[in-house]
Amino acid sequence: MKETSISGYAPVNGLKMYYEIHGRGKPLVLIHGGGSTIQTTFGNILTLLSQHYKVIAVELQAHGHTTDRNTEESFQQDATDVVALLRHLKVEKADFIGFSNGGHTAMQIAIGYVSTVGKLVLISSFYKRDGTAPGFFDGLKAATLENMPAPLKSAFLQINNDQAGLQTMFNKDRNRMLHFTDWTDEEICSIQAPTLVIAGDHDVVTPEHAAQMARLISNARLMILPGTHGSFIGEACSAEEGSKMPEITVRIIEEFLSYE
């Protein structure tokens, strides 16, 4: 079957929100990480996923092709934006894959918009500040745009040749994480969707915290993979040339999503 691919913009809560749709089948929403685009997070697995699903990949406020607005970023607002986009596309329910900050947005959707979520895949995400590797938040306090990974800066500027826009996105992403507020155990327990929690053994999130999340979500499974933050999905900053891990990870995700 020939793959179908379209892209477009939707009017969403004051944004021109960019999205891409690839493939046919059950809707599967991809939510990228902080500072990222669809391609930098999912470029190495999107084609694999679109062989079996109608993949709806989004770019959030101030990221990639999507415009900004005069508000700070929050995972709650991102969740509202993604759900509004799905309503615009007349998608009532979908499965979700969120990576890193995109996983936080996906969690918030699962907590606040229960009927919208079929299954949930959380990759390299945490729900408490102490779930991160030592020094993560201390390093963030001192971070500047110069510390932003080169592949992410390059991807943004290829889409928007706007250095000021890049700086704004960096500032908003950094501030959102510096003011990160823990979800409560009760909020995580409220997630009803069958969930696959994935983390690397040398990730930003600790394996112990990933296991704790999986225990709190009543219908969750856990997978700890050898790798760093996003390496096992081929994320642009950590992809390992020639690695088969992205394909392996996708096959396990597909099995989880197809299991009734």
| Total of domains in the chain | 1
Residue whose structure tokens are 């779930």: 131
CA atoms of 55 and 70, how far apart (whole Å): 30
Structure tokens at 77: 């607002």
Per-residue model confidence (pLDDT) at position 4: 75
Do residues 214 and 9 make contact, with C-beta atoms less than 8 angstroms apart?
no
- pLDDT < 70 positions in the chain: 1-3
CA atoms of 45 and 77, how far apart (whole Å): 27
Per-residue model confidence (pLDDT) at position 3: 56
Domain that holds residue 60: 5-258
Per-residue model confidence (pLDDT) at position 1: 44
Do residues 169 and 222 make contact, with C-beta atoms less than 8 angstroms apart?
no
Q: Name beta bridge partners: 198.
A: 123, 223
Identify the CATH number of the domain in which residue 115 sits: 3.40.50.1820
